[in-house]
Amino acid sequence: MNYQETTNWLFNQLPVYQLLGASAYKEDLTNTLLLVNYLDNPEKHLKCIHVAGTNGKGSTSHLLASVLQEAGYKVGLYTSPHLKDFRERIKINGQDISEDFVCKFVAKNKSFFEANDLSFFEMTVGLAFEYFVKEKTDINIIEVGMGGRLDSTNIITPLISVITNIGLDHTQFLGNTLESIAFEKAGIIKKNVPVVIGEFTPKTKEVFIKKATETNSDIYFASDLIEETFPSVLLGDYQIQNKKTVQQTIIVLQNQNEFKISEENIKSGFLNVISNTGLQGRWQQLNENPKVICDTAHNSHGLKIVLNQIQKEQFDELHIILGVVNDKNLDKILPLFPKNAKYYFCKPNIPRGLDAEILQQKALNFQLNGKVYNSVSNAYQDAAKKANKNDFIYIGGSTFVVAEIL
């Protein structure tokens, strides 16, 4: 199979959460353990930092990778989902895994995958770990897919565990209280492995302290410990907390005396994160007049911060291109959106995309008015046509909406 056929097989062979939602979720690590045993346990040969959280784990992972690259290390980076190409999920020093490696890995192990009914995510984790071992990385930043305790990545014993924050997302899997979600995320905390917490509430803090006590893990609350942050090319307001989390994680890593990282490396890593790692879709500016911003925030916790940041902007009229997936709790997110904006409702082009007409009807309940478009690009074209140079266009609601624009 060529690369296109291989990735088509990966996406179509078994349910994938990114496309289908609930039917792809497995509450078990048995298959992942079966796979890594079959692959001769590559995870045991990797030095890792494990990153979980409701929001910010992607930015945090990329910032950590960028800092470590600036310090001269060969850095593996595993994240999800991808925006345009599957290979974005697995990188070394900002370079995507090769098409050839993906094809050979799948061809070699395809019969095992099929015989054991492995999920897309399990196969991808196995691919990443084998690639990082073969390429002899110095350190790897591993982002949790969803949750933590039962996530396929949770077979590693990292140097440091990182939990960025807790918000209400994926409640059908992780529970519908902050404490229950914190419990799932805290599942990445390992025995005698330090943990850095980015943001917390009094209730989630209790959950983290309890788990850290059980595992004899030193615990650091970054938002309390880090006062000043360095400038970064990532401009969203939410990046302030992500930068604090990264700076605290680097301090813990420095204290382990295995990696040498200077303050200059941190500063350069923050400023060069996009060129070093290829990160996209975080308060990313696509045009100047009118100003066009896209952002992958997609739950109430993330959207609240982004929409507050929009209100700080100077503009004549606000245009919002909005699309969501069909398991999104619209009663939670739609009240956050401003009523004095023009809306362009669209459906992200995936099976999970919510029909734009349903979104429009639901939005009317919250006095959000606009037209329906048959694609994200058509919505953007119309907004760009109608907006004057002093207007502001925001594109968001879903990672997949942003992916179609990029």
Question: pLDDT tens, 74-118?
Answer: 999 999 989 999 999 999 999 999 999 999 999 999 999 999 989
Helix (H) or strand (E) holding 135: none
> Is residue 21's pLDDT more than 80?
no
Q: Which residues pair with 163 in a beta bridge?
A: 52, 197
Backbone φ, ψ for residue 342 (5° rounding): -95, 130
Q: What is the mean pLDDT of the chain?
A: 93
Question: If you average pLDDT over residues 387-402, what whole number do you get?
Answer: 96
- CB burial of 281-300 (b: ≥16 within 10 Å; e: otherwise) equals bbbbeeeeebbbbbbbbbbb
Q: State the residue for tokens 């290979």.
A: 87
* Triad 282, 288, 292: Cα angle to 5°: 45
The predicted structure's pLDDT at residue 170 = 47
- What pLDDT does residue 171 have? 46
pLDDT of 121-166, one tens digit each?
999 999 999 999 999 999 999 999 888 998 999 999 999 999 999 8
Share of the chain residues as helix, strand and coil, in percent rounded to the nearest 5: 45, 15, 40
Q: What is the rounded average pLDDT of the residues 242-268?
A: 97
The rounded distance, in Å, linking the Cα atoms of 185 and 159 is 17
Indicate whether 57 pLDDT > 50.
yes
